């Protein structure tokens, strides 16, 4: 149907609607619009809580960039507080702790609920400490492989005297980490736990935090030790690289398919050998012409002997002079008459050379492979080559090696022992999609409003038509008063009064509804003609 034909019909139908009906339609539409706006605000509303407080500007910039890369909504205040969604605060704090944040500031919690107006300052500090210990323990529990964590913090005394030499406040902490497999946390996790606890208590140093496993063994890792193990252990470095590349690939593919529809596995091998390279480059000097065989003289030996052939010149060998030719001091004599000449020269030429030495540190990536699984029967709008190119560029794999190093498959995801397919709640998926795209909600609300207006308009028109038909049917069913043969005056009077009342009703109806009256007369005339014919 053409739109140009629909618009006049809608205008015509709207013109027939009474003022009262229009008012009701407008009120209903406004109510629907207000409901849609309130619904959108409630969906996108987030309860923000403090992630880190008193963070300096430089570190706040780094933390905010990390949150943006992870797609986490945040707020930043002028006093250095960084706030995130309350539902994600523990998870985000754990992720940032593994990356070495915070380096400044601390993440204090708030007083627990029973700290009221009658509570003393000492009790408030104790409640705050309990709350802080529980928060840190819950955050550590989010680390990979951690089953439970118990944190105990001993706050030191504040410095009361200006001339006090020892500025250390004496604060210390101990953490007991119980792993799911009964083992011990890795050195990287131990360092992250130390950073987390030290960053949560004002003035606490990292080396004041002791970490123990469930077996009672201390696994405390100092910053220098962690860095040394990171440089010396290929497995630890490989794990770090694998985690970083996995995060980059997930961040890229999650925007296309959704984080729940992508699985990424990265395998990396690190070369921990330290290499010293020496490069020697040779080049020939500039030549005079093509036949020039000369070069830069490195060493030259010249020897020359002469004899003039006259009455001999003799001398004593061994006398040296500062000249190229060895001279012999001689005395004139008559010993001989022959002459002799001998010359000898030795020259060594060298060519230009450049010698470079360099050291390749340990920790170079020797091999890297990536496997990606996408939930679904196909890859959507992307082809296999396009997807491999995206993954390869994100991981730093050369284009010629992407087909060999990257494997991508698409298949429906299954969960559970019975192999049942993972079920997704349609309502949760819809709410998540609407929360990500609030404009879709506004468009849907507008469409629903238009549909409601059209439905109300159609119902009003049908109701008015039905009302008109009912009135017409009532007029047609008016009984015809038969003339009674009885000439009783009382009956005649009653009949005349009824007839007079009916005539007045018909007259009023005719005045109010001339179109219907004309239609009835026309139908009666047609009926009378047919009956007479």
Rounded average pLDDT over 281-292: 68
pLDDT band at residue 405, thresholds of 50, 70 and 90? very high
Cα gap 239→253, rounded to integer Å? 21
Most confident of the ranges 218-222, 318-322, 341-345, 400-404: 400-404
Q: Which residues contact 490 (CB under 8 A, 6 or more apart)?
A: none
Query: Average pLDDT, whole number, for the chain?
Result: 74
Q: Is residue 315 part of a domain?
A: no
Q: Which two tokens stand for residue 456?
A: 């109300």
Which residue has better confidence, 377 or 305?
377
Q: Is residue 281 part of a domain?
A: no
Are residue 55 and residue 78 in the same domain, yes or no? Answer: yes
Indicate the number of domains in the chain: 3
Are residue 128 and residue 213 in the same domain, yes or no? Answer: yes
Are residue 268 and residue 374 in the same domain, yes or no? Answer: yes
pLDDT band at residue 135, thresholds of 50, 70 and 90? confident
The 8-class DSSP code of residue 416 comes to: S
202 three-state secondary structure = coil
Looking only at Cα atoms, what is the longest distance across the chain? 207
Query: Tens digits of per-residue pLDDT, 141-155?
Result: 888 888 888 999 988
* pLDDT at residue number 416: 52
Q: How large a percentage of the chain has pLDDT more than 70? A: 66
Which residue has better confidence, 179 or 35?
179
Rounded average pLDDT over 288-305: 70
* pLDDT at residue number 350: 67
**pTM score, whole prediction:** 0.30
Q: What is the sign, positive or negative, of the torsion defined by CA atoms of 83, 89, 95, 99? A: positive
* Strands (E) located in 249-295: 262-271, 275-283
* Strands (E) located in 272-387: 275-283, 296-305, 313-316, 329-332, 342-350, 352-360, 364-374
Are residue 80 and residue 176 in the same domain, yes or no? Answer: no
Buried b (16+ CB within 10 A) or exposed e, 485-507: eeeeeeeeeeeeeeeeeeeeeee
Are residue 247 and residue 144 in the same domain, yes or no? Answer: no
DSSP per residue over 496-513, as a string?
Answer: HHHHHHHHHHHHHHHHH-
Query: Tens digits of per-residue pLDDT, 30-63?
Result: 777 777 777 766 666 677 888 877 677 777 888 8
Lowest mean pLDDT among 76-85, 95-104, 369-378: 95-104
pLDDT band at residue 435, thresholds of 50, 70 and 90? low
Q: Which residues contact 315 (CB under 8 A, 6 or more apart)?
A: 328, 329, 330, 331
Are residue 223 and residue 129 in the same domain, yes or no? Answer: yes
129 three-state secondary structure = helix
The 8-class DSSP code of residue 145 comes to: T
Say how many C-beta atoms besides its own lie within 10 A of residue 343's C-beta.
10
pLDDT at 241 over 80: yes
Q: Is residue 73 part of a domain?
A: yes
Cα gap 213→402, rounded to integer Å? 41
Provide the domain limits for residue 76: 49-114
Most confident of the ranges 116-125, 291-300, 379-388: 379-388
Are residue 380 and residue 268 in the same domain, yes or no? Answer: yes
Cα gap 280→295, rounded to integer Å? 19
For residue 349, how far is the Cα from the chain centroid?
65
Query: Tens digits of per-residue pLDDT, 307-348?
Result: 665 444 444 444 444 444 555 544 444 455 566 667 787 777
Residues 517, 468: contact at Cβ < 8 Å? no
Cα gap 112→44, rounded to integer Å? 27
Cα gap 318→325, rounded to integer Å? 13
Q: Is residue 135 part of a domain?
A: yes
What CATH number has the domain bearing residue 108?
Answer: 3.30.70.1530
pLDDT band at residue 377, thresholds of 50, 70 and 90? confident
Are residue 209 and residue 187 in the same domain, yes or no? Answer: yes
Rounded average pLDDT over 348-365: 72
Q: Which residues contact 96 (CB under 8 A, 6 or more apart)?
A: 51, 63, 66, 102
Please provide the distance, in angstroms rounded to a whole number, between the alpha carbons at the two ends of the chain.
Answer: 46
Which residue has better confidence, 6 or 89?
89
Q: Is residue 24 part of a domain?
A: no
């Amino acid at each position: 149907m053409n739109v140009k034909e629909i618009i006049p019909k809608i205008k015509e139908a709207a013109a027939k609607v009474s003022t009262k009906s229009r008012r009701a339609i407008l009120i209903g539409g406004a109510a629907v619009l207000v409901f849609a706006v309130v619904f959108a605000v409630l969906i996108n509303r987030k309860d923000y809580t403090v992630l880190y407080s008193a963070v300096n500007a430089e570190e706040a910039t780094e933390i905010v960039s990390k949150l943006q890369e992870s797609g986490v909504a945040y707020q930043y205040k002028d006093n250095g507080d960084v706030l995130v969604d309350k539902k994600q605060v523990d998870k985000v704090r754990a992720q940032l702790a593994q990356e070495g944040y915070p380096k400044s500031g601390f993440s204090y919690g708030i007083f627990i609920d029973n700290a009221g107006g009658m509570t003393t300052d000492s009790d408030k500090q104790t409640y705050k400490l309990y709350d802080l210990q529980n928060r840190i323990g819950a955050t550590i529990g989010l680390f990979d492989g951690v089953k439970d964590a118990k944190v105990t913090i001993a706050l030191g005394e504040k410095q009361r005297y200006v001339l006090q030499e020892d500025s250390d406040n004496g604060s210390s902490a101990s953490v007991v980490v119980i792993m799911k497999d009964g083992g011990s946390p890795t050195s990287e996790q131990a360092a992250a736990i130390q950073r987390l606890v030290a960053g949560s208590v004002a003035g606490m140093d990292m080396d004041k935090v002791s970490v123990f496993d469930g077996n009672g063994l201390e696994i405390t890792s100092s910053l220098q030790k962690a860095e040394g193990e990171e440089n010396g252990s290929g497995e630890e470095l490989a794990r770090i690289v694998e985690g970083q590349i996995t995060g980059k690939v997930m961040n890229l593919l999650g925007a296309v398919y959704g984080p729940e529809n992508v699985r990424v596995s990265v395998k990396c091998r690190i070369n921990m050998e330290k290499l010293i390279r020496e490069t020697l480059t040779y080049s020939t000097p500039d030549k005079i012409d093509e036949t020039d065989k000369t070069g830069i003289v490195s060493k030259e030996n010249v020897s020359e002997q002469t004899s003039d052939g006259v009455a001999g010149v003799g001398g004593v060998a061994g006398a040296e002079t500062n000249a190229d030719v060895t001279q012999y001091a001689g005395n004139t004599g008559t010993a001989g008459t022959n002459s002799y000449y001998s010359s000898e020269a030795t020259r060594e030429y060298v060519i230009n050379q450049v010698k470079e030495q360099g050291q390749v540190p340990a920790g170079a990536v020797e091999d890297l492979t990536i496997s990606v699984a996408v939930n679904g029967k196909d890859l959507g709008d992307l082809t296999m080559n396009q997807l491999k190119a995206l993954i390869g560029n994100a991981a730093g794999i050369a284009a010629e090696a992407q087909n060999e190093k990257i494997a991508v498959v698409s298949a429906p995801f299954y969960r559970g022992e019975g192999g049942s397919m993972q079920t997704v709640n349609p309502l949760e998926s819809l709410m998540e999609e609407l929360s990500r795209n609030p404009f879709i909600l506004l468009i849907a609300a507008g469409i629903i409003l238009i549909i409601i207006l059209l439905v109300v308009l159609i119902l009003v028109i049908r109701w008015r038509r039905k009302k008109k038909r009912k009135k017409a049917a009532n007029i047609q069913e008016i009984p015809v008063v038969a003339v009674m043969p009885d000439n009783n005056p009382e009956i005649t009077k009653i009949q005349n009064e009824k007839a007079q009342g009916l005539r007045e009703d018909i007259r009023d109806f005719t005045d109010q509804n001339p179109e219907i009256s004309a239609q009835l007369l026309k139908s009666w005339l047609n009926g009378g003609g047919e009956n007479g014919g």
